[in-house]
Amino acid sequence: MPIEITWLGHGTFSLTIGDQKVLIDPFLDDNPSAPVKAHDVAADIILISHGHYDHIADAAAIAKRTGATVYANFEVATWLHSKHKVQHTIGMNLGGAAQVPFGSIKLTLAHHSSSLPDGSYGGNPGGWLITAKNKRLYFACDTALFQDMAQIGAGGLDLAVLPIGDLFTMGPEDSLAAIQLLKPQKVAPAHYNTWPPIAQDASAWASAVKAKTSAEPIVVSPGGKFLI
């Protein structure tokens, strides 16, 4: 059975993997591009890439409502547990993997920052490499381009999700270099068009991906779904 992926705007994704719902970086109630509100989404597992508000805003409320387990770096996981009373948290660190009911999740490198909304230290930012149903999916989350992406792609990737908004993360041009390092079968953009400073032309980006890489671009609007 394929994995169903829904883009909920900005860096927020919902994955349906068998009977499991995985929510990545929930930012919904204050996200002008989100098609749903935090009280509408289901989650068994929540993955947090780093402590910035636009990635963690609704994590505690959704985790407490659903009983989902939150996976994050140690500092973010500890903050959610101690400051926001999230019951089920698993703290990780870069390079570490955890076993989950559908496979495994690994916290990968990212070049970014990670302060928490109240100014607490948020540890190092990361991305997520998800292995499920013999598929490998990489969510770069907020990051600059970095050469070690070649290592993340070395085992083969069915999908890479890359930021293209520029300003806070890599932009469209660097994402093409990232695709050349990662060599995914398919690639989807994220972290753009939420606000004017990160506005991008996704169809122009998709044309460049087709012209300059061997990956197939997948562009959906917020709320749009695709299968991997």
Those residues whose C-beta lies under 8 Å from the C-beta of residue 99, and which sit 6 or more positions away, are none
Please list the alpha-helical segments (H only) found in the chain: 53-56, 59-66, 74-84, 149-153, 172-182, 202-212
Minimal distance in Å, beta carbon 102 to Ni ion? Answer: 26
- 75 binds, options Ni ion, Mn ion, none, Cβ within 5 to 8 A by partner type: none
Please say whether the dihedral angle defined by the alpha carbons of residues 145, 105, 22 and 92, taken in this order, is positive or negative.
negative
Nearer to Mn ion, 8 or 132 (CB): 8
Q: Which residues bind Ni ion (CB under 5 A)?
A: 52, 142
- 166 binds, options Ni ion, Mn ion, none, Cβ within 5 to 8 A by partner type: none
Nearer to Mn ion, 54 or 58 (CB): 54
Nearer to Mn ion, 57 or 132 (CB): 57
Instruction: Give the tokens for residue 78.
Output: 């500890």
Instruction: Give the tokens for residue 50.
Output: 């780093």
Minimal distance in Å, beta carbon 18 to Ni ion? Answer: 30
Minimal distance in Å, beta carbon 168 to Mn ion? Answer: 6
Query: Does residue 58 belong to the site contacting Mn ion (CB under 5 A)?
Result: no
Query: Does residue 54 belong to the site contacting Mn ion (CB under 5 A)?
Result: yes
Query: Does residue 142 belong to the site contacting Mn ion (CB under 5 A)?
Result: yes
Those residues whose C-beta lies under 8 Å from the C-beta of residue 187, and which sit 6 or more positions away, are 159, 160, 161, 162, 175, 179, 209, 213, 215, 216, 217, 218
Give the interface with Mn ion as residue ranges (CB under 5 A): 54, 142
